[in-house]
Amino acid sequence: MHAELDGYDRKILALLQEDASLSSAQIAEQVGLSQSPCWRRIQRMKDEGIIRGQVTLLDRKKIGLNTQIFAQVKLNAHGRSNFTEFTEAIRGFPEVLECYVLMGAVDFMLRIVAADIEAYERFFFEKLSMVPGIQEVNSIVALSEIKSTTSLPV
């Protein structure tokens, strides 16, 4: 079920996606509401789970995570029966930023960050390849980033 959002809600969400440090007074001024109704709207969207949290976004390269890898993972027949075990192992790896279940030739797509190829190689051999049930991993190294955003089109 998706929530009903009016124009004010959408403007509030767009502003928060760009700068979550804005106060409710600053947001209210920009969207044309007074502070109290704006604050109530933000609280309602938090309570409904539309706003899941507020985070600080880091520049991965400035903290030494220069390599981004997309890994396509295929589980063997026995591995598919241990789906929960696989997903728990993946959730425990801080190097894995995202994991998606796929339909098609592969079962999962992972987005992984590492300092360099050697660091990814260590992660692959010491952690990822040790997860029971994995039949095949196809690693794709991203050369450059054309677009990366956390903002949804509201």
User: How does residue 108 score in pLDDT terms, banded at 50, 70 and 90?
Assistant: very high
Helix then strand then coil, % of the chain, to nearest 5: 40, 20, 40
- Mean pLDDT value across residues 121-149: 96
pLDDT above 90 (res 40): yes
Mean pLDDT of the chain: 95
pLDDT tens-digit readout, 69-105: 999 999 987 766 778 899 999 999 999 999 999 999 9
Q: Which amino acid is at 76?
A: N
The whole-model pTM stands at 0.88
Q: Kindly state the tokens that stand for 23.
A: 């106060």
pLDDT tens-digit readout, 41-61: 999 999 999 999 999 999 999
Query: Using the 8-state DSSP alphabet, how is residue 50 labeled?
Result: S
The pLDDT assigned to 82 comes to: 78
Q: Could you give the domains of the chain? A: 7-47 (1.10.10.10), 60-142 (3.30.70.920)
The pLDDT assigned to 65 comes to: 98
- Mean pLDDT value across residues 143-148: 95
